[in-house]
Structure 1
Amino acid sequence: MRIGRPAVIAIAAALVLSSCASNETPASTGSDEPAESTLSGTLNAAGASSQGSAQEAWISAFQTANTGVTINYDPSGSGAGRETFIAGGSDFAGSDSYLNDDELAGTFASCAPDTLAVDLPVYISPIAVIFNIDGVDELNLDADTLAKIFKGDITTWNDPAIAALNADATLPATAITAVHRSDDSGTTKNFSDYLNQVAPTVWTEKPADPFPYQTGEGAQGTSGVVDAVTNGVGTIGYADASRAGDLGVAKIKVGDEFVEYTAEAAAAVVDGSPLVEGRADNDLAIKLDRLTDDATHYPLVLVSYAIVCEEYADAAQGELVKEYVSYMASADGQAEAAASAGAAPLSEDLQAKVAAVLETVK
């Protein structure tokens, strides 16, 4: 892996990086405790807001174990995170979209000359279809109906297509407000990819970070979508499942059943999906299988990546990135993300693949 030099470029006022964790040293437990960490320095990163809760937990744990290290993560969105990293303004990016062909064909200011960056899966999560409809606690949706709602073809909650899927519900005539991400978002790309694969005759636009249709209401970031759905009337949106809170969450149709999300069902889809073809051996971008009809799977899922250089111009900075991302993808890091954000842990096989690539980072 070419890990470019996270030039700890003083990320200017434009990046309001949120340094989320204390650097408290754990209390001494006796002579058998591990040797004190000698790591030191500052990492600046930006990207996927879906990773926000997990990053807070990862940063807290890593800084506690390595008191000389400070980590700042700005949940500015996947697109903004990749742009910042490519421009050399951060040491790694968090992204729900892997690097596309155009990005891979360019240069990475954070990386050593003549080296590239790679995508490493670190976070798996279901995407929840969240809703706020008076008098409705449960909602079933198939892909065609969901696509028509967000495309603007279905405009009221008592539409016959929705009623046919929810025979036991009393659906109001309330107008639908479909809330999407206004920023470039990997969550949007994954949501669009699901609809494009499963309901291709309705959702005809190819998946991309920008929301493809001039419909509904846009909101900035995961928190913006959640706030808009929470504070609106007759609202529906999509967001990382860790942020669903007390909102209603729709079941989606998989095969002949309506399935609610679970971490296990999301992980099952990832485990059954191949790597993207035609990329470097050390790039672990995953082509998700959305077309499963196995009701133990939840195909509306995202894989979020840490995008790092194969080689950093500043070796010390590369070592910091390597150590921190290794922790994120480790069994301990994945358990932390599961506990704090409801994430689906990477399988042991995928953890091993990520660790093997990180061993080559310098």
Structure 2
Amino acid sequence: MNITRFGRPMAAIAMAATAALALASCAANEEAAPAEVSTLAGSLVGAGASSQGSAQEAWIAAFQTANPDVTITYDPSGSGAGRETFIAGGSNFAGSDSYLKDEELALPFAACAAGTLPFEVPAYISPIAVIYNVDGVTDLNLDASTIAKIFSGAITNWNDAAIVALNPKAKLPDLAITAVHRSDDSGTTKNFSDYLFQTAKADWAIEKPADPFPFQTGEGAQGTSGVVDAVKNGTGTIGYADASKAGKLSVANIKVGDKFIKYTPEAAAAVVANGAAVDGRDASDMAIKIDRTTTNPAEYPIVLVSYLIGCNEYAEAGVADLVKPYFEYILSEQGQADAAAAAGSAPLDAATAKKASAIVSAIK
């Protein structure tokens, strides 16, 4: 990392003013006040959740525009790969759709000062869409049990009685189902699996949700883009992906309570707001446990909370001086609005953003 100049407060660094105030007719030689210029310089490397891809592109573009001597790269390699890279010291931060496991927290983090723990704060809330591609079917209702049976391999045809019962008016074909899942370790998979584990445990017979897809069924694809491409280019396909990447693909309505609902960022944020802190975590760890058994149709239960993970204290001098303003911008009202515009994510609520910003502001 090459870091050359630091020391400006976040407000001046992260989103520097871009225009000077013009003065009315005063003395002929009176000049306008100069625009503030960022003195921040250096490079940051991040890797992880592909769900954050669109948001990271928007965040990086805005931050680098305000700070032209800063270079930030983000590899959307997947949550599991991103955490592994960060733990090994191959990146300055990670994005992850699942919080760090207890066994990961017990490992030494190469980028962090010896004896210190990483922080993890929520930065991106998004619904997970159940996407599908079936000719002649543009409106599809599914409940948790049926989804679990499709992705576990218990239901293999589109005109199965269980799907027909939920969609009596649909023209469901006699066609094999190709259920597409993530082939890489993925926080999106963990969140999707957690929804089925909580709401359809009898049909989703696993020990506990985890980043790897739990069944040897269907078709695997690398990353969010891989799943979307496989569903889009296949026949009779169905998959799950961050809603920001669904594009023009058809999206299933999910049964919540006695209604079938479509996802919205607001409904995703609502179910997260009712989540609880994970037990036994450090004060700088904002891991959230989500109760997906809601029967309130204003809450969409298939949702991911994507985290930013970094060091409370970095081993390499000066790294925090870049991570801190970049993350503070991401957590700011403007950063959240930029992500919402680029990726359709739900902005963090004010209390969550304030707590996360306080953790980031304390890193060194």
TM-score by length of structure 1 reads 0.92
- Given the alignment, which residue of 210, 213, 226 partners 1:211? 213
Corresponding residue for residue 119 of structure 2? 118
Q: Is the 8 A contact 2:256 2:296 kept in 1?
A: yes
Does the aligned pair in 2 maintain the 1:222–1:239 contact within 8 Å?
yes
* Secondary structure of the corresponding residue to residue 189 of structure 1: helix
Distance 1:266 1:51 in 2: 16
Report the alpha carbon displacement of residue 90 of structure 1 after superposing the two structures with TM.
Answer: 0.2
Look up the match of 1:354. 356
1:60 maps to: 61
Q: How does 1:17-166 map to 2 (within 5 A)?
A: 28-30=19-21, 31=32, 34-166=35-167
Give, as a single letter, the amino acid of the residue that structure 2 aligns with 1:215: T
What is the aligned partner in structure 1 of residue 186 from structure 2? 185
Q: Which sections of structure 2, spanning at least 5 residues, go unmatched? A: 3-15, 22-31
Of 344, 347, 352 in structure 1, the residue corresponding to residue 346 of structure 2 is: 344
Cα deviation, residue 339, structure 1: 0.4
Contact 2:111 2:316 in 1 (8 A): no
The question of whether the paired residues in 1 share the 8 Å contact of 2:124 and 2:347 is answered with yes
What is the one-letter code of the residue matched to 1:65?
A: A
Q: Distance in 2 between matches of 1:112 and 1:327?
A: 24
Q: Give the gaps of 5 or more residues in structure 1.
A: 1-6, 9-24
The separation in 2 between residues aligned to 1:144 and 1:119, in whole angstroms, is 32
Q: Which amino acid is the alignment partner of residue 84 of structure 2?
A: E
Deviations 1:179-230 (A, max 9, x none): 0000000000000000000000111211100000000000000000000000
Q: Which residue pairs with 2:298 in the alignment?
A: 296
Q: Sort the Cα spacing of 1:314 and 1:146 in 2 relative to 1 into closer, same or farther, 3 A.
A: same
What is the RMSD of the two structures over their aligned residues, measured on CA atoms?
1.4
| Distance 1:34-1:105 versus aligned 2 partners, 3 A rule | farther
Q: After TM superposition, list the pairs within 5 Å mapping 1:268-347 onto structure 2.
A: 268-347=270-349
Q: Distance in 2 between matches of 1:66 and 1:314?
A: 21
Deviation beyond 2 Å, 4+ runs, structure 1: 25-34
Query: 1:272-292 CA distances to partner (integer Å, 9 max, x unpaired)?
Result: 111111111111000011011
Task: Quote how far apart the aligned CAs of 1:29 are.
Answer: 4.8
Q: Deviations over 1:109-144 (max 9, x none)?
A: 010111111211000000000000010001000000
What corresponds to 2:223 in structure 1? Answer: 221
Question: Match for 1:157: what amino acid?
Answer: W
- Give 1:224's aligned amino acid: G
CA contact (8 A) 2:128 2:241 kept: yes
- Separation in 1, partners of 2:351, 2:19: 35
How is 1:160-179 mapped onto 2 (pairs within 5 angstroms)? 160-179=161-180
Larger radius of gyration: 2
- Deviation, 1:315, is 3.3
Between 1:317-326 and 1:258-267, the stretch displaced more is 317-326
Q: Given residue 247 of structure 1, which amino acid in structure 2 is its aligned partner?
A: L
Tell me the secondary structure at the aligned position of residue 297 of structure 1.
coil
- Say which SS state the counterpart of residue 95 (structure 2) adopts: strand
* Higher deviation after alignment, 121-130 or 271-280: 271-280
**Is the contact between residue 26 and residue 64 of structure 1 (CA under 8 Å) also seen in structure 2?**
no
Task: Report how far residue 34 of structure 1 moved.
Answer: 5.0
Cα deviation for residue 26 of structure 1 reads 9.2
Task: Output aligned runs, 1:239-250, within 5 Å.
Answer: 239-250=241-252
Secondary structure in structure 2 of the residue aligned to 1:315: coil
Relative to 1, partners in 2 of residues 1:305 and 1:171: Cα closer, same or farther, differing over 3 Å?
Answer: same
CA shift at 1:310, angstroms? 0.7
Aligned-residue offset at 1:170: 0.7
Q: Distance in 1 between matches of 2:119 and 2:358?
A: 13
Match of 2:188, SS state, is helix
- In the alignment, which residue of structure 2 is the partner of 1:14? none
Q: Is the 8 A contact 2:159 2:175 kept in 1?
A: yes
Q: Is it true that 1:257 corresponds to 2:246 in the alignment? A: no
What is the rounded CA distance, in whole Å, between the counterparts of 1:339 and 1:261 in structure 2? 16
1:196 is aligned to 197
